Homo-oligomer: A and B are copies of this chain.
């Protein structure tokens, strides 16, 4: 309200407050990382590699079960670019490519561990909530 004098009277959805105690750059950066890392496929690949150690391209796909090859390629590339997985190409025919977690990938896997445990602990409560919500909607 303080700076509403010069701003148009219209409600601005995209407006952002200027005064923030934390560093906005760091905030945005962390938010970007979260946006990339908090991806369904990233988490699932992370878990598969954490559990099985080194996996080949097709094996990762099989562990996940229902990922398309396009998304598998894309997500693995992104994770490689972010330094989460190491990609080892054995120059043989037919091609042989191994993927494994880097140290950073392992640490992220450890950080996500709590979320997995949470999901395992609360899946019953979540399903109950969904049922109750559905009943409430009627």
Q: Give A contacts to B, CB under 8 Å.
A: 11, 13-17, 26, 29-31, 33-35, 37-40, 43-44, 58, 61-62, 65-66, 69, 80-83, 104, 107-108, 110-120, 122-123, 125-126, 128-130, 132-134
Contact = CB atoms under 8 A, between A and B. Distances in A.
A132 B83 CA distance: 9
B34 A126 contact: no
A115 B30 contact: no
Question: Copy number in this complex?
Answer: 2
The binding surface of chain A is classed by DSSP as: helix
Given A104-B125, A129-B82, A40 B35 contact: yes
Q: Of residues A107, A113, A119, which shows the largest number of chain B Cβ atoms within 10 Å of its Cβ?
A: A119
A129 B34 contact: no
Nearest to A103: B125
A37 B83 contact: no
Nearest to A32: B123
20 contacts: A11-B58, A13-B61, A14-B66, A15-B62, A16-B65, A30-B123, A33-B123, A34-B115, A35-B44, A37-B119, A38-B40, A81-B134, A82-B130, A83-B125, A83-B126, A108-B115, A108-B118, A112-B115, A113-B114, A115-B115
